[in-house]
Structures are given as structure tokens and as C-alpha cells.
Chain A
Amino acid sequence: MANKIPVVEYSLCAACGVCVTACPFSCLELSKVGIDRYNKVYPVLASPGTCTGCGICAKACPVEVITMQVLAGVP
């Protein structure tokens, strides 16, 4: 388990999927998160077990809405 995971600010997310493609381990998937009247899908961490916390997704995000959140208790 990584000591950091990506957290998405959905209200500002473009739903562009760049982070999903950028992830080298296919940890992110697009899914409904219930905030959009157009039925858009947004990135969610579908495979937290394989996330290394590398931050590539956050770096790739064109609109800078992903932050890497430190997980308490994970070395």
C-alpha cells in the first residue's frame, strides 16, 4: 500500500481522463461520482492496492485538480 494516494477535486475536474491514461499501473478508472447532470464520468482510484503513490497522475492533470494525499499510518 502506498503512503500517498490521488484525491480529485471533482467540482473542477474536466473529466478529460488524462490521469487515467498517464497512470503506469492502470489504477484509475472513470466512473460516475454523482455530481454531474450530464452523466459524465470522473477518475476514481479503482485499484488502491496497486497505486504506488508516484504522483504521475497529478503531474499530468491539465487543470491541476489532483493532489496526492498522505495516508496516516502508512510508512
Chain B
Amino acid sequence: MKAYTGKVLFVNLTTGDIHAETIPDEVYENYLSGVGLGAYILYQRIPAGADPLGPDNMLGFVSGLLTGTPSLVTGRWMAVFKSPITGGWGDANCGGTFSPAIKQCGYDAIFINGVSPTPVYLFVDSNTAVLKDATSVWDMDADAAEKILQQDNLNKKKPVVALIGPAGVKRSLISGIVNDGGRLAARSGGGAVMGSKNLKAVVLAGVKPIGCHDPAAMKTLSKELSQKMRKFNLPGFVKGGIFPLMGKMMGGMKRALPMDGAMAGILMKRWGTISNNTLGITSGDTPIKNWKGSVVDFNHSYYKHLNPEKILKVEKQKYHCYGCAIGCGGITDIASASSGEFTESHKVEYETCTTFGSLSMNKDLDSILYINELLNRAGMDTIAAGSTVAFALECYENGVITPAMADGLDLSWGNAQSIIALVKKMIARDGIGDVLADGVKTAAAKLGVTGQPYVVTAGGVEPGMHDSRFDPLLAIHFSVDPTPGRHTIGSAQYYDMIHLWEKVSWAPPSGAYLKADEYIPSDKLAVKSVALSCYKELVDGSGGCLFAMMLGVNHWKLFEWLNAATGWQKTPDEYMEIGKRIQTLRQMFTIKHNVDPMSYKISPRMAGVPPLTAGPNKGKTVPIEAMMKLHWKHFGWEEQTGEPTTATKTQLGLDTL
């Protein structure tokens, strides 16, 4: 048996046509599934110039190639579409249980185009696929609507639902797609695309088994990882209070060394992403005060309130996405934090703690826990929403947003109650909230401040909360990935943990090196970033998770799992060629839609122009444009424009698409 079904479901909401198509084996061998299959379909089926919020845009829900096989940490799905924020390639990645549910219906992916005349949802099980009326749940928040749709479609199998909340319904460009009670495929504006199609939800209740080539070999690899994960522990006396000291040491290091990715496993297993809450602030990894501040501003009297131990105190139980042996998630009791409005929530992530914490100079942890749930239910991206709030606070400081424009809110830095009120206005598109509801880029245009230093984006997208001045390799990925501003592609820290050079012939070994060297454009740095890009596309084609990727190739054995799942017996170099093909096709999509890759360059403030005057990143500047060009050159793309060369397209078999 294969690890993929070889079938894809297509739904046209304008005509009501629903049909399945068989996908040839060679497509999977060249693109895997997940983001690769998504790119293969969307590049060919979305016409150039299509309105991202119109009928010609196609929204794909794609499972990973390894999802449902006996591999571990491979249960993520991808939403793929033309982004309404950038006008180029868009995707978002999410865990929970939705990815295997796609395959249990007998498909690797579901692609939806057209626009329904009335609100609908798509129901699919092992035998049927049908559109149903969604009028009664259209305006509901994601949590309430999910529960109703599960109950309405309950048979033998409890359905899994991916849906939009009010933010997607109102076509907020920073809205995402929600599943499993608050997991979000948040980035690139997929919620707005779904809302524009009058599609509230996709409800899946299939029970088909998912096969693979060699389950015994896969299980041997899984047992090995599972045994390691059980042993990845710190002594119980080590508490979250140690992180600021660790961060200070990391921020002061002059040299970097390869690390064992086991450390990522240890931190994720115990705390989750919040392990970086205070560590990142003292190291310089965490942006502060809309990227213009430092730990001098958000000092101990502030960051002590974000100690991850405080969040673990309200964690009722851990939460694992499907097939995950790490378990970074949690279910938290937020009754107190929300003054009784909600009972529980998915544990807040580091990204959310940062955009609504240090980026907004807010030290009120309860407000962050509350906002997290508000946004999960609304289906709005917490990175983008928090970044937009921080932008608004600086606009208020500058007098660009006046008290009258702010509907009476005091938008001073760190005013938690005003930030809560502002978020509610953004979700409802009420007053100043409507100005901000589509993110920083649109808000800046509406306010007439485009190009000002406090407009902080990569290609119009709010960046993830890791400071590009702290890690220039991250700055490259923020700027060159077809989904700009994405913190999940690559960084020096990722590279040093993944140990790609131990399996991939052309990946440069990472010995001890001077941190200062990272700030100088070089061929070696560029090849590292190319390797990370290729590998991440493999991960996203397989359904893998970033945090498994960070464990490194000697713990999370992606190449070996892929061979066992498919029987292909490819070498790591051959798999990296697939990653290169996927990434190049994503770039070709963006260029087909007439978007200039150089426009994805990070804002000057993110590159240290002008440099910070205090903190671990004091005086640091990243020569980003030169680094982008070197990355493009080593990818086989035009060095000046970022357009894949004819030779590269031919080599990868993309010239005939």
C-alpha cells in the first residue's frame, strides 16, 4: 500500500460540482503531498491575476504524505491559496486532527474554488461529499459553530471540523482557519479567502484506513523516537525562572556551536513554546515595543509576569496534535483570566505572549490569556493581530491615531484594558477596529503612513516574533520565502540543531563559528539558508511539525520514514531536490501573479536600520538585500530578481507546467 490515496476532491461552489480526480504517482514522487501537492495544483489552476477574494482563487486543504502512517509528529495539514495580503503564494500550517481526517475520507486533499451564493459548509465522509446550508452557524464564533456542526453530523465517527470564525466571515485579511477548538492555520489570510467563498466549514467524518509501504519499518523508527522523547527531561527542580539567565548567556555569546536538537524536545515537552517567553527577551530573540525597544524597556519588572511557570499553573492537561510524541500544547483554565466568560482554552503560544506582551509593552498575563481565546474563537491570527495592535500603539504615541480616532480608548503602551477593547473592535470591524482589521499594511495605507519606520512587515505580512537582528539567517527567510515574514522556515539556531550536513552531501557543516560572521553576506550562509528552505518544504510536504524538525535528522528521521512509507528508496539528496522543486514552484506562483520578490524584503527597522541603541542587539545591522540576492543565486534563481532561471526550471521539471 502507498502512504497516499492518489485521489483529490475538487469542489466548485459556484456550480455546485463536486468530483474526484486521480493524481498520478509521479506527482507524489516529485512533489510529495501537503504543500507540494498544493503548489502543483494551484500553480496550474489559479489563473494569473485572479482576485484572491474572488471565484478564481482556489483554497486547498491538504494532508501530509506521512499523515496517518505509523510515523510520529507528521499529522499537520496545509491550507494553500493565493494570499489576499501579498497577492502571491499563500499557505498556512496547522495541527490538531484535521490532516488524518482528510485521508480517512479517501482523499489527499480537497480543493475548492468558486463562490457559493449562500453560506454553506462541505460535508465529506467515506462515501459522500455534499454541500449543506450554513446559514444558522455563519456568524457564530469558531468554537460554538464547531460543536454544532459536529453534533449535527454525528454518526458513528465524531466529525473533525475546519472552519472560520467571525474574522473570516468579515473577510479580515489577517484571519485564519480554525480546527480542534482553537488550533489555527493562521497565516497568509486564508480565513478571508474562505469567507469570500461563503464557505463556513469543512466537516470530515471518513473512516477509511490509511496504508503505507512498510509499516514495520516505520514503527521501528517511531519506537526509537518515542523512547527518546520519554527520556528528554530536565530535573524537576529546574523551573521557568531560569530562562532569563539562560537568555542572557545566549545573548552574550560570541561564538555559536552545533547543538543537539534534544534540547528543543525537552523544552517543548515540558513548557511548549512559552519556554521562550523570557529567554527570548534577555537573549535578544524577542522583539520589543514594535521592534524599537529592548530588554532595557521591557525589563525584569515587566517580563517576570510572562514566566512560563505562571502559565503551567493553569494548565489542566497537555495537548498533543495527532500523531505527536512531543506534546507542546496544553489545555488551560482561563476562567479567572477571562472573568468567567470562558472556562478553558488551548494554551497560549509564545508568539501570542510576545505580540500582546513585549511588542505591546503589556505585562498583564491574564489579558493575554483572554485575548488568545478571543482571537481563537474569532479565527484571527494572533501574530498579525498583536503586531497590528503594537503598530496602533506607536501610531497613538506619534499622534497618527488621535484619541478621537481611537474611539476614546487610551492606546498608551501596555494599557491592557485598552488593548482588549481594541482587539474586540478589530474582530467586530468596529470604528478604529475596522481600520486595523486587515493588518499593518492595510492600516498604514488607510492612515497614510506607508513607508514610515513604525510600519514593520515583511512584504506586507506581520513577521513572526523572532528578531532578525539577533539571527540574520532568520532575516533571510523572512525576506525570501514565498510566504514572507514566516519564522518557521529557517534560522541559524534551527540549522545548528537539525544537523542536515550529516545526511545531505551539500549542506555545509556547522562547526564553531563567530556570531559576528552571520552578519556578513557569504556563500556558506546562503547555502545554509537554501538547505533550510528545501528541508522545510519536505517537512511541509510530509505533514511534519517544525518542533520535530528542530529535533534534528538523527532523532526525527524524516528521510527514513519517507522511504519506509513509500518504498521509493531515495537518498536524502534526492529528497532535498524535491524540496527545492516545491520551493521553486511556490516562487513561480508568486511571479506568475506579478509580485516582485524583492518587495518581500523586511522593513528597515527589522534589519537594524537604524540600529538599536540598547540591549543585546545594540548596533547590529543586517545587510539584507545582499543576503537575499546570494540566497536566490544559490537556489538557481536570478540573482537580481529572484525569478527561477530557465535552467533551474528545466532541471526540476518545472518548465512544462
Contact = CB atoms under 8 A, between A and B. Distances in A.
Interface of A: 12, 14-18, 21-22, 24-26, 30, 32, 36-41, 50, 56, 60-64
Interface in B294-339: 315-318, 320-325, 327, 330
Nearest to B72: A62
Nearest to B158: A26
A56 B209 contact: yes
Given A21-B100, A39-B315, A63 B323 contact: no
A16 B325 contact: yes
A17 B156 contact: no
A21 B97 contact: yes
A40 to B, nearest CB: 5
A62 B218 contact: yes
Interface string B324-367: 11010010000000000000000000000000000000000000
Interface stretch (B16-24, B219-227, B498-506): B219-227
Interface in B90-136: 97, 100-101, 104
Nearest to A26: B158
A15 B318 contact: yes
A16 B72 contact: yes
Interface of B: 70-72, 97, 100-101, 104, 156-158, 207, 209, 218-219, 222-223, 226, 229, 236, 269-270, 315-318, 320-325, 327, 330
Contacts of A50: 156
Nearest to A38: B318
Contact of A62 (B70, B158, B209, B269): B70
A21 B77 CA distance: 15
A56 B236 CA distance: 37
Contact of A37 (B71, B218, B236, B324): B236
Given A14-B325, A16-B72, A62-B222, 18 more contacts: A14-B222, A15-B320, A16-B322, A17-B324, A21-B104, A36-B318, A37-B236, A38-B269, A38-B318, A38-B327, A39-B315, A40-B320, A41-B317, A50-B156, A62-B219, A62-B226, A63-B219, A63-B226
Given A38-B270, A63-B219, A14 B229 contact: yes
For A16, A22, A30, the residue with the greatest tally of chain B CB atoms inside 10 Å of its CB is: A16
Contacts of A39: 315-318, 330
For A14, A24, A40, A50, the residue with the greatest tally of chain B CB atoms inside 10 Å of its CB is: A14
Nearest to A56: B209
B105 to A, nearest CB: 12
Q: Is the interface of A mostly helix, strand, loop or mixed?
A: loop
B219 to A, nearest CB: 6
A18 B207 contact: no
A26 B156 contact: yes
B157 A14 contact: no
Contact of A40 (B97, B317, B321): B317
A21 B317 contact: no
A40 B318 contact: yes
Nearest to B207: A24
A14 B224 CA distance: 11
A28 B101 CA distance: 16
Contacts of A63: 72, 219, 222-223, 226
Nearest to A25: B156
Nearest to A50: B156
Nearest to B330: A39
A16 B100 contact: no
Contact of A12 (B72, B104, B226): B226
B153 to A, nearest CB: 12
Contacts of B222: 14, 62-63
A65 B70 CA distance: 12
Nearest to B316: A39
- List the 6 closest pairs (A to B, CB-CB), nearest first: A24-B207, A62-B222, A62-B70, A14-B325, A14-B226, A26-B158
Contacts of A21: 97, 100-101, 104, 322
Nearest to B321: A17
A30 B329 CA distance: 14
For B157, B269, B320, the residue with the greatest tally of chain A CB atoms inside 10 Å of its CB is: B320
A32 B323 contact: no
Given A38-B318, A39-B316, A40-B317, A18 B323 contact: yes
A75 B372 CA distance: 51
B157 A24 contact: yes
Contacts of A64: 219, 223
A16 B223 contact: no
A60 B70 contact: yes
Contacts of A12: 226
B70 A17 contact: no
B209 A17 contact: no
Contacts of B101: 21
A25 B321 CA distance: 20
Contact of B156 (A16, A24, A62): A24
A38 to B, nearest CB: 6
A59 to B, nearest CB: 8
